Amino acid sequence: MRTQYCGQVTETFVDQTVTVAGWVHRRRDHGGVIFIDLRDREGLVQVVVNPDTAEVFAKAERLRAECVLQITGNVIPRTEGTINPNMTTGKIEIVATELNVLSMAEPIPFQLDDKNVGEETRLKYRYIDLRRDEMQETLMLRYKVTRSMRRYLDDNHFMDIETPILTKSTPEGARDYLVPSRTHQNKFFALPQSPQLFKQLLMMSGFDRYYQITRCFRDEDLRADRQPEFTQLDIETSFMEEEAVMDLMEGLTKTIFKETIGHEFEGDFPRMPYSEAIQKYGIDRPDLRIDMQLVDVADLLQDIDFKVFAAPAKDPKGRVAALKVPGAGSMSRKDIDAYTKFVGIYGAKGLAYIKVNDLSAGVEGLQSPIVKFFPDQVMEIMQRVEAQDGDIVFFGADNAKVVNDALGALRVKIGEDLGMLNGKFKPVWVVDFPMFEADEETARMTAIHHPFTQPKATTEEILNHDEPEQMLSKAYDLVINGLEVGGGSVRIHDTNMQAAVFKMLGISDEEAQEKFGFLLNALKYGCPPHAGMAFGLDRLVMILGDIASIRDVIAFPKTQSAACLLTEAPGLVDNDQLADLALRFRKPVRGEA
């Protein structure tokens, strides 16, 4: 039905007859001559319809935007003054000799060039929204990313192997999406949060280099960079330690950036221990485009009378930290109040600050309601944070988590607001994660990554460790511009070590056998050392395309409430279907009015 894509008809086709097909992007009637901008996925081409081709002209007069056409015509050069240098087809036009209307279109609910269309409308009419240039370019970028991934991994001897979608519910951090079984009544499948256990089993089966671009499902609260179903590049290797895996995955990342957007990274990606990331940036996924860092000042404030600072300074689980913002001393009270409200989201009870007006004047040159509480220490604090005239210094004082969360987020917020981003892409490997952390609600240990991650310890050390929260793991995350784009670890390949980790997590032998018996049994029959990683494809495309919302890199995404406005899913099912599954509806419990 066509000989070329619209966007590929260039001056090399002058004096040739071509057939193109696509949508009417725009129709213009200029004094009896009709111009049609015809669009397909490769771009636009201008078609001229002259009145001397009466039948073709009559059809063109009835057209509206988004009608689907097949046009045959002769390619001619545009006249001087009508050339459009911003289009690949801008030096030519097609004089139509035949025009077939393949599909008429009703008036569309919004114009493709309207920048103010609400997201609900865009998602309801997603098939129209996807026709916009931005969405076409984004999905083309996504395709290029997956193509680059496959090429690199194929060249490095990885095999693409599928793993099940209907599987068993296992605790992996988020809630599972459950699927009731008709043939095994009162039992449920779960949609996979990741193919973690299956890819480990593949290593035990002798497929030493596996990958899969796969869908994963997590029933959790959504954010701008999360969806209930998402895509990840899943990778596992045998006989490789963490450094070798990181080197291989770094090569993959560099290849993707170069082949998709032409960006080349200089040198190796830096490595940063988890403890350093938390200390300097308050978060385990630091945005290194922002130079500001958190500075500990608790040791200087333990003996002051100002309890707001002194109490957390003395508390082993507390933290008092300062964040210097260079050149922001002129910040208004309104701005400071807004930032105070912002850190409240993260549990901070307030936001103390000091404006540095004139360091040479000592304490008198500092502007702040808190300086009077520790005048003897304040100049030493200014020296430690390397403050200069014109700066402002913010403080966080609370338990360590609140301070880290609040000042870590504030650092990024101010950096973005004040245009303090240096460089386009700043990657970093975060390594040496703690193996365990305490769950305050259950008073049990939980695995920071997952319970199959190998600790940097022997089995005996795991069983006899007095401070499990101090134990490190062989885990690693790749962070770019403050977003975690991938994470992985060396896995446990020894039955005794896996049992010791389960014991540390409070998982009984019976529970371990019930939930992970197939894995524990497989470990007994010769398991090679193995490690792996998973890349979040959606987040990676967000970074490559500088796109703010994950919904704009997915063809058919869900809303913030995990609904599909296009298909109106999730929807009701009839009672016969429920009866097949031995299920019935229950009305939600309603409280008193």
The mean per-residue pLDDT over the stretch 466-484 comes to: 93
pLDDT score recorded for residue 215: 96
Q: Is 129 annotated as a binding residue?
A: no
Domain 290-417 has CATH 3.40.50.300: no
Phi-psi region of 432 (alpha: psi -120 to 50; beta: other; left: phi over 0): left
CA dihedral 379, 383, 388, 392 (to 10 degrees): -70
What confidence category does residue 592 fall into, taking pLDDT thresholds of 50, 70 and 90?
A: low
Angstrom distance (rounded) from CA 436 to CA 529: 21
Domain map (residue ranges) of the chain: 6-103, 135-267+449-458+466-496+505-553, 290-417
Residue-level pLDDT at 489:
96
Q: Give the per-residue pLDDT at 446.
A: 87
Tokens 């022997």, residue? Answer: 458
Distance CA 542, CA 551 (A): 10
172 carries a ligand binding annotation: yes
And the tokens for 68? 């689907």
DSSP annotation of 591 reads: -
Helix (H, G, I), strand (E, B) or coil at 36: strand
DSSP 57-105: HHHHHT--TT-EEEEEEEEEEPPTT---TTSTTTTEEEEEEEEEEEE--
User: For the whole model, what pTM was predicted?
Assistant: 0.91
Residue 1: partners with Cβ closer than 8 Å, 6 or more residues away? 19, 21, 70
Q: Look at residue 413 in the predicted model and tell me its pLDDT.
A: 97
Q: CATH number of the domain at 6-103, please? A: 2.40.50.140
To the question of whether residue 219 is assigned a binding role by annotation, the answer is yes
Angle between helices 400-417 and 333-344 (to 10 degrees): 140
Closest by CA to 57, choosing from 38, 35, 86, 79, is 35
Q: Indicate the range of 16-20, 341-345, 361-365, 462-466 predicted with least confidence.
A: 462-466
Query: What DSSP element (H or E) covers 244?
Result: helix 242-261
536 is in an annotated binding site: yes
pLDDT tens digit sequence for 266-284: 999 999 999 999 999 999 9
227 is in an annotated binding site: yes
What three-state secondary structure class fits 232?
A: strand
CA pair distance 160, 538, nearest whole angstrom: 19
Q: What is the pLDDT of residue 464?
A: 86
What's the whole-number mean pLDDT along residues 495-500?
92
Of 474, 476, 334, nearest in space to 417 by CA: 334
State the first-to-last Cα distance of the chain, in angstroms, to the nearest integer: 64
Buried b (16+ CB within 10 A) or exposed e, 137-170: ebbebbebbbebbeebbeeeebeebebeeebbbb
pLDDT digits (tens, 9 = 90+) for 298-349: 999 999 999 999 999 999 999 999 999 999 999 999 999 999 999 999 999 9
> How far is residue 480 CA from its own chain's centroid?
10
Non-local CB neighbours of 17 within 8 Å, separated by 6+ positions? 72, 73, 74, 75, 97
Mean pLDDT, to the nearest integer, of 127-145?
97
CA–CA separation, 251 and 269 (whole Å)? 10
The 10s digit of each residue's pLDDT in 405-441 is: 999 999 999 999 999 999 999 999 999 999 998 877 7
Instruction: Give kind and range of the element (H or E) at residue 217.
Output: strand 209-217
Task: Tell me: is residue 449 an annotated ligand-binding position.
Answer: yes
**pLDDT score for 364:** 95
DSSP codes joined into one string, 368-424? -SSGGG-HHHHHHHHHHTT--TT-EEEEEEEEHHHHHHHHHHHHHHHHHHTT---SS
| CATH class of the region 135-267+449-458+466-496+505-553 | alpha beta
Strand partners, 476: 431, 488
pLDDT at 63 over 70: yes
